[in-house]
Amino acid sequence: MVAHRLVRNLAGAVAVLATLLTVVFGLPALNRAVPTDRSLAGPRYDVGAGVTVAPPPGARVDASKTRPGSERATVMFLVGDVRYLIVVQPFDGPIGEAAEKLRTKIKATQGYQVTGNEGGIRTTGGLAGVAGGYTAPGRSGRYAVFLAGEHSIEVTVSGAQLELQRELAGIDGSISSITYGGDR
Amino acid sequence: MTVAGRSRRWRFSVRPTPRAARALKSLQLPAFWLLGLILLAGMARLLEILRADLARFPVATTSAIVLFALYAVPFWLFIASMDFLEREPPLLMATAFAWGGAVATTAAIPGTQALHDLVAKLISPAFAATWGSAIAGPTVEELLKALGVVMIVLVARKQINSVLDGMVYGALIGLGYQVVEDIVFAVNAVALRGQGDGVGPVVATFFLRGFLAGLWSHTLFTALAGAGIAWFVVRTDKPLWWRLGGLGLGLGLAWLTHFVWNSPLFADGLGSGAAGVLLGMLGKGLPALAMVLALLWVARHREAHYYVAQLARLQDPRIATPGELQIMGHGHLRADARRYGRARCGRAGERAVRGLQTAQARLAVELSRVDRIFPGDELLVHCRDEVLAQRQRLVDLGHPEAVVSPMRPAVPRVVVLGILFAVALFLLIWQAIRTMNAA
């Protein structure tokens, strides 16, 4: 009788542990197993919060890192192994403050360092911003930030050095195509 | 209905802890050791997260920990006082809190993110952006928190005596989860702001998540899940399908209330301005709060009537007079009786009334644990003597009966205070929303 009770207790405890492990390891494993990228339809992509962009050639969208919205929006393009991220969020400060915020965010990741000087950048639609570069162990990156309306548009691009160089022209073209509101 | 009649009606509402139950017996259970290992793993992971936050934002992280730890105190006291007559063991209450704070939170981070991503991949990023939190949050988090109640049942089955006990443990797990999640959110807000180690975002998060959303958050959701699990465990007099129905209802309501709160419905409020935002928030949160309070009221009174009947069957006015039996099951009436004792005999009178009430509750619980009263039962004799000693203190003070004042106002003080508190809270939240809109 006592042994039976202990076996039932053990079975219950193991069931709890199994459920816990399913949530901690099973769900993320299933998530990794499901393909993340989606092919793109049309020449322009609606990021959200009033921002649109022409994706680089051969780009796919990482659905798990993409969050459209009317006030805040994020899109992650995958160009080969290069990650190209655009984040739009409410912001009412000057461009220098927006750039500082993005630099702080980049440097918050261990091993990431902003390198070189920042320079001005302008999209074909007329949005003005600043751009710079950063490095990380085994990766290089570029960043840019624009102000549009009451939003900041943060762009980060990262990948292995060689692959980034190969894709950079297409990505630069895509960054230049960023528009806000009705501007095209 | 007479006290004896109520006792018969609710005789299955409470399953008293048997005399033979001892805390040390839990050491023999495999679930106890597995629980210990899971708690250690959860705490190690939580410390890892907090250590990283402390390294990046020491001032903000410390402020968040202190602020939300203080915030938890009144919630803890309220939850602990819910079960006045049959108090829960403090170690078990702390275990429940630790499960919510260290295990459920750390396990939910990868689980919720994965489910959110799956919704984005399988349906669309746009759908996930709108409904992802409403689907992934309740599904993963309520499951993990409910597992904590199951674990409490596995290690201390005899301590789950009634639906109320399930609500107490569920609420504590929810409180632990709420506090740690709020700390993590506060530090994330500091990181997102990108302006260094400031306390501004911590205070804003404390206000938004602790104050505006705090009354209808995890504490509430998991209390419902705990009620369902306790119903399944305690009501063995019911058919299995009925018990499973209660279990499903409790877990389902926990999921549903969480889903409604996380959903984008009324996200921008009902109507315009601060009043619209307030109405939207109340529309989503108040039904859940009202439901839990109603369930709490029923569960408390069922349990109280059960224990009051234990004293009533003695039919001894030295143990409890009819007037004392009338008020014993109602927290606000017990408080009124203490106030009356103070009004008549000062602080000594208040202390004596409190002492009698505590001794009566202990005797009622001990009486519930035996089928028959034997004259030589040492524990019962000790509890009875304690009641008689407390009674003598009251007699010596010239206030022999711990009852409420005959001049007690028609509208109970608790009702007046409750209404005033609700109105003050309503005005405060409204003013706060207006201030935030203006900012």
What number is the ipTM of this complex? 0.83
pLDDT band per the 50, 70, 90 thresholds, residue A184:
very low
Q: Do B35 and B109 belong to one domain?
A: yes
Give the closest of B30, B129, B151 to A69, CB-based. B129
For residue B426, being part of any structural domain is answered with no
- Confirm whether B288 is domain-assigned: no
Find, among B105, B125, B126, B78, the residue nearest to B176 by Cα: B105
**In chain B, whose CA is at the least distance from the CA of A15?**
B147
Q: Count how many domains chain B has.
A: 2
The C-alpha atoms of residue A66 and residue A36 are separated, in whole angstroms, by 10
Instruction: Confirm whether B348 is domain-assigned.
Output: yes
Q: Which among B109, B118, B177 is the top mutation candidate for probing chain A, defined by the most A β-carbons within 10 Å of its own β-carbon?
A: B118
Are B98 and B207 contained in the same domain? yes
Regarding whether B319 and B261 lie in a shared domain, the answer is no
Quick check: B128 and A67 CB within 8 A? yes
Residue-number span of the structural domain to which B193 is assigned: 9-281
Nearest CA among A64, A87, A84, A14 for reference residue B121: A64
Which chain A residue shows the shortest CA-CA distance from B37? A17
pLDDT tier at B86, thresholds 50, 70, 90: confident
Q: Across residues B298-303, what is the average pLDDT? A: 87
**Residue A24: pLDDT above 90?**
yes
Residue B289 inside a domain? The answer is no
Q: Are residues B97 and B189 in the same domain?
A: yes
Q: Is A23–B107 a contact, with Cβ atoms under 8 angstroms apart?
A: yes
What is the biggest distance separating any 2 CA atoms in chain A, rounded to whole angstroms? 80
A32-64 pLDDT, tens digit per residue, is 898 776 666 667 888 988 999 999 988 888 888
CA distance B194 to chain A (A): 5
User: What is the mean predicted confidence (pLDDT) over A85-90?
Assistant: 93
Indicate yes or no: CB of B30 within 8 angstroms of CB of A9: yes
Q: Domain extents for chain A? A: 1-34, 37-180
**B191–A34: do the CB atoms touch at under 8 Å?**
no
Tokens representing residue B92 in the block? 């078990």
Does residue B260 share a domain with residue B333? no
Share of chain A above pLDDT 70, in %: 94
Question: Which residues from B are below 8 Å from A69, CB to CB?
Answer: 129
- Set of chain A residues whose Cβ sits within 8 Å of the Cβ of B191: 105, 108
The CA distances from residue B46 to B37, B104, B115, B412, in Å, are 14, 10, 21, 45
**Percent of chain B whose predicted confidence (pLDDT) is above 70:** 91
- 3-class SS of residue A55: coil
Q: Does residue B172 sit in the same domain as residue B234? A: yes
Q: In chain B, what residues touch A152 (CB-CB under 8 Å)? A: none
The CA distance from A111 to the nearest CA of chain B, in Å, is 14
Check if the beta carbon of residue B302 is closer than 8 Å to that of residue B84.
no
Query: Do B158 and B61 share a structural domain?
Result: yes
Of A64, A104, A105, the CB nearest to B121: A64
Is 50 exceeded by the pLDDT of residue B3?
no
Q: Would you say domain A37-180 falls under CATH 3.40.50.300?
A: no
B258 and B215 within one domain: yes
